[in-house]
Amino acid sequence: MNYLIQVDGEEFKLDQTKLEANDILKLEDKKFHVLHENKNFEARIIAFSDSDKTATIEVDGEKFQIKIEDEYDQLVKKMGLSIGGGKKLKNIKAPMPGLVLEVMVKSGQAITTGDQLLILEAMKMENVLKAAGDGVVKSIEIKKGNTVEKGQILIEME
């Protein structure tokens, strides 16, 4: 798995192999000893948000803001589902093939950033697709139980 890591706004790519090459030892709750490229570091998690995958960490007394995007997050962003808040939302497309488990919106419904739109099961995981902008649902092109292909329009927006 590949990760895109943003540290104080600067982006780095990190794959699973590089991640596993680090020696990380948990010292206590939210405090770790890290051995990276033969250098020792003490790291502490100050704050963590699971919903947007951001954290504030302290490494050897210096604070960093980080954001982690896994392959799924990067795919959703590439498909245009991560438009900034307050912007007009475009059509919602399937970020990957899957099975529609639930549709949470109706035609004509106004939605805003963060609203849950539908649940898509893919690779044995339930993925809640959320609105990445504002808009009005023009039509719903799928229903519960449908299988969808990557890039297929799921919800048409006006």
pTM of the model: 0.47
Residue 144, phi then psi, degrees to nearest 5:
-55, 130
Please tell me the distance from the alpha carbon of residue 109 to that of residue 117, in angstroms, as a whole number: 11
Please tell me the distance from the alpha carbon of residue 45 to that of residue 32, in angstroms, as a whole number: 9
> What does the pLDDT read at residue 149?
94
pLDDT tens string, the chain, 158 residues long: the values are 777 777 777 777 777 777 677 788 889 888 988 888 888 989 898 888 876 788 888 988 888 888 888 777 777 777 766 544 446 678 899 988 999 999 999 999 988 888 899 999 988 888 889 888 888 999 999 999 999 999 999 999 88
> What does the pLDDT read at residue 84?
47
pLDDT for 35-80, tens place per residue?
888 889 898 988 888 767 888 889 888 888 888 887 777 777 777 6
Q: What angle do CA 138, 94, 52 make, to 5 degrees?
A: 95
Domains in the chain and their CATH numbers? 2-69 (no CATH), 79-157 (2.40.50.100)
Three-class secondary structure of residue 70 per DSSP = coil
